Structure 1
Amino acid sequence: MTSSSPTTLLRALRDLDLPDHPEAVVVDGRALSRAGLREVAVAFASRLPDAGPVAVCAEPTLETVVAVSGCLLAGVPVVPVPPDAGPAETAHVVTDSGATCWAGPRRDGVDLPLVEVPTAPTAGDRGVDLPEPVAETETAIVLYTSGTTGAPKGVVLSHRALRTGIEGLADAWGWTGDDVVAHGLPLFHTHGLVLGVLGSLHLGSRVVHTGRPTPQAYAATPATVYFGVPTVWTRVARDPEAARALSGARLLVSGSAPLPVPVFERLRELTGHALVERYGMTETMITLSTRADGERRPGWVGLPVGEARTRLRAEDGGEVPADGETVGRLEVSGPMLFDGYLNLPETTAEVLGSDGWFATGDLAVVDADGFHRIVGRESVDLIKSGGYRIGAGEIETSLLALPEVQEVAVLGLPDEDLGQRIVAYAVVAPDDADDALAARMVEHVAADLSWHKRPREVRFVPSLPRNAMGKVQKKLMLDVPG
């Protein structure tokens, strides 16, 4: 694809000759047709002061959908900001992205021009032309994701990456304009925003955001496809009445973290559906999935999607045999890959080779049929909790700002509900080690970073195990009693 090729992302939103519906997009009970969404999205785009990027406070609202759609239609990069991000994280995202304006509710410490987001057309908005499409290689979105250390990194994704990733899933899942997609996931990361909303606006399916991803909300929302993370599906499995209400669906899809096999089996028993499991990262879109017309094996994430390619490498760089048992480092290539980490060329070069292969940091096995199973991270510092990917390093940095905390290490420990729960091991003075300090540490992270990044547990320890170089040995800490 050359740089002169125009983008076709959001194809169904651009093409008003396609069948429409008065509730093509529903967010927490508020609805717009595709024609109505296009009108207000174009109106929003016409109000932008420049070519962006635009920081969008990505609450689960219709305004978020309008703002993101307007930016993409106008070819202006969009930067979703988690609505629960604290001042430090928000300031980092706004500054690092170079955002020139803000859309959505005002946030403390954000000194950017505010662009109002319409959800109903005004007289002055009517007749505004659809912006000319930009080249597919232009940046569409910058999604901030936590690594193992430091502040979140901006993942730069082009229009082409989003389009090819979505169209690959359309093939794998038989996803068409006849579908109704339901989910209640956050609108500031790949799963909820790019797949759930932008995927539907590209393929022409209706999309219903339930406000919150509760079993009751899913059960009350008629749909053909439901998206959820393992935490959601675990809760659905514990509510037999809600689970049975989903039996009329075409597909139940799980991702963002491994789905426990007992949950897979329980949902198959209650709904009659074997869940589709898939694997991806912010940097890669979805690269592996079981198929709507193929085998769905619990604990396995299936085959490469669309134009994605995968390979497993041993520690010496050699190929790993496709025996379903030998573990290798998973690498991914294809047009759905990110362009790099914003403002971090050296960090990008560490994981994205000149040959176009991206080192995911995940370990996997593959069998003779090409089926993949993810077995874990090379590092223990990336925590997957409740569908979020959370870096331990930024939580540690935040906690070390408290004067009482002398040393701290953050780990993700197995949790039946969340997948992993965030646990902080802290070294403090003996007189300070009490429940009041633990509660204050939790509250500090929730306010400074994000609510979902707060430790679920604080354990006070006399020291942290270190090697001769002074590095904390987190693997040894997995056996530290609570």
Structure 2
Amino acid sequence: MLLASLNPAAVAAGGDRSDAVTIDGTTLSRSDLVGAATSVAERVAGLPRVAVLAEPTVSTVLAIVGALIAGVPVIPVPSDVGAAERAHILGDSGAVAWLGAPGDDTLPVVPVRVHARSWHRYREPDPDAVALIIYTSGTTGAPKGVPVRRAQIAADIDALAKAWAWTADDTLVHGLPLFHVHGLVLGLLGSLRIGNRFCHTGKPTPEAYATAGGTMYFGVPTVWSRIAANPEAASALRGARLLISGSAALPTPVFERLRELTGHAPIERYGSTESLITLSTTVDGERRPGWVGTPLDGVSTRLVGEDGTLAPHDGETIGRLEVRGPMVFGGYLGRPDATEEAFDDGWYRTGDVAVIGADGMHRIVGRESVDLIKTGGYRVGAGEIETALLGHPGVAEAAVVGVDDEDLGQRIVAYVVGDADEAELIDYVAQQLSAHKRPREVRKVDTLPRNAMGKVLKRQLAGGAK
């Protein structure tokens, strides 16, 4: 059963919890959540697909859970989506109605009544049925729909529960969007499956995290960076069990500062919309800055070199990362061409490049399209240079891209937020790493362009670096 803790029979047998979900200033018991969500299920049962404007509200939680109870696929629509992208998502997905708050006036609206209750019993849908259709960020064209099956979600949450010793006794806290895997699948649906308390802070500020009283905290690097810069808030997290970072690489200086201030070395993990989470450091294993751990139960990985042969697991050789496992998707919605391109004999081509150590630990170098820089005959990972730059006291943020160059093939250009001198930074990287990995240019900026999950939009930087 996907949402095991929402089994009405379990609630009736004494499995209720008075504070199952806290969001937008409202706390729901598990029985209230079951009753209200089942009332939603009665209004949408039989519909082919529904869209939910995924704002962090009680209505959003009830809409998503109610549709899942009824076996109706949900399309979570970003709350800040632009008109053109919203029209694409609605048209491409085949959504027939807005469930809850309307995102526009192009579809009819099925209301979510927070105080309504129903105790109708719904049969658990087939494990292979689609639970969610989540749209990619669209960095390589229009966003693609990723159908996520119920069995994928269950397999991933169960594997993470083992890796993180995640139990019903935990209180999970985060303030992340509810339209991505991180906040929605892991945060909300993970909590409902495991049966732990779930607390959404609204904006993920250091102060909100500090007062939430959680045992587990989810955050993207931007969130953790702000907490690391706030010693008082960071020290309040000493009573937690796990600090978990994902969606982008956590800079080593932030990792170390969190360990110093909170007493916890953060858990890092890796995944994507298409594969959910496939790699993670573990509750009882090594947590090494810059490394995202080993494969979860049921997951296999491989590195493929430029010549198509398997790359060695020596901790140095960069290769294209491919994965397979029960949480990996089966193909894009209505895009057989993109699906064929994404797979190689059952292996999902993640589009990321990585290195794997002899101990099985993985380090993500970055996206093959923007983070693997081929300069002067060398293959260089942008992430390694960014980590080096962030070690300089005059650098607050850094992003590195490769720009076409007639002589080198690509030249390394670094964008930094900070007050360090350009020549000093170039020399600093050359001393920390090999000379060929030094930036040829350093450009100072006030901010780095980022998406809702805190990932730097490198295509914007590369497009502006000529």
Whether the 8 Å CA contact 1:73–1:130 is kept in 2: the answer is no
Distance in 1 between the 2:328 and 2:258 partners? Answer: 32
Provide the aligned length of Structure 1 versus Structure 2.
398
Q: Percent identity?
A: 54
1:95: Cα distance to partner? 0.6
Distance in 2 between the 1:455 and 1:311 partners? Answer: 27
1:453: Cα distance to partner? 10
Is 1:12 aligned to residue 5 of structure 2?
Answer: yes
Distance in 1 between the 2:319 and 2:456 partners? Answer: 32
The amino acid across from 1:19 in the alignment is G
Is 1:374 aligned to residue 364 of structure 2?
Answer: yes
Q: Corresponding residue for 1:297?
A: 288
Would the alpha carbon gap of residues 282 and 18 (structure 1) be closer, same or farther in structure 2, given more than 3 Å must change? Answer: farther
Whether the 8 Å CA contact 2:22–2:200 is kept in 1: the answer is yes
Distance in 2 between the 1:250 and 1:452 partners? Answer: 24
Whether the 8 Å CA contact 1:170–1:176 is kept in 2: the answer is yes
2:118 equivalent among 114, 126, 133: 126
Would the alpha carbon gap of residues 189 and 414 (structure 1) be closer, same or farther in structure 2, given more than 3 Å must change? Answer: farther
1:398-477 to 2 correspondences below 5 Å: 414=415, 474=462
1:28: Cα distance to partner? 2.4
1:223-262 to 2 correspondences below 5 Å: 223-262=214-253
Is 1:85 aligned to residue 81 of structure 2?
Answer: yes
Is 1:111 aligned to residue 113 of structure 2?
Answer: no
Gaps in structure 2 of 5+ consecutive residues? 373-381, 384-412, 419-448
The amino acid across from 2:15 in the alignment is P
1:100: Cα distance to partner? 1.1
Gaps in structure 1 of 5+ consecutive residues? 1-7, 385-411, 418-444, 460-473
1:259: Cα distance to partner? 0.2
1:253: Cα distance to partner? 0.2
Q: Corresponding residue for 1:359?
A: 349
SS at match of 1:247: helix
Whether the 8 Å CA contact 2:130–2:147 is kept in 1: the answer is yes
Q: Corresponding residue for 1:168?
A: 159
Whether the 8 Å CA contact 2:304–2:322 is kept in 1: the answer is yes
C-alpha distance after superposition, 1:188-245 (max 9, x if no partner): 0000010000000001111000011000000010010000000000000000000000
Whether the 8 Å CA contact 2:220–2:454 is kept in 1: the answer is no
Distance in 2 between the 1:414 and 1:13 partners? Answer: 47
Whether the 8 Å CA contact 1:308–1:333 is kept in 2: the answer is yes
Distance in 2 between the 1:156 and 1:189 partners? Answer: 13
Normalising by structure 2, report the TM-score. Answer: 0.80
1:199-210 to 2 correspondences below 5 Å: 199-210=190-201
1:52-71 to 2 correspondences below 5 Å: 52-71=48-67
Distance in 1 between the 2:102 and 2:218 partners? Answer: 30
Whether the 8 Å CA contact 1:13–1:201 is kept in 2: the answer is yes
Whether the 8 Å CA contact 2:159–2:296 is kept in 1: the answer is yes
C-alpha distance after superposition, 1:281-322 (max 9, x if no partner): 000010000000111000000000121111111112211111
Distance in 2 between the 1:287 and 1:413 partners? Answer: 30
Distance in 1 between the 2:47 and 2:357 partners? Answer: 47
The amino acid across from 2:16 in the alignment is D
Normalising by structure 1, report the TM-score. Answer: 0.78
Q: Corresponding residue for 1:430?
A: none
1:120-159 to 2 correspondences below 5 Å: 120-121=115-116, 125-127=117-119, 129-159=120-150
Runs of 4+ displaced beyond 6 Å: 381-384, 449-459
The amino acid across from 1:38 in the alignment is V
Distance in 2 between the 1:92 and 1:240 partners? Answer: 43
Provide the alpha-carbon RMSD of the alignment. 2.9
Distance in 1 between the 2:414 and 2:235 partners? Answer: 31
The amino acid across from 1:211 in the alignment is G
The amino acid across from 1:215 in the alignment is P
1:126: Cα distance to partner? 3.5
Whether the 8 Å CA contact 2:299–2:326 is kept in 1: the answer is yes
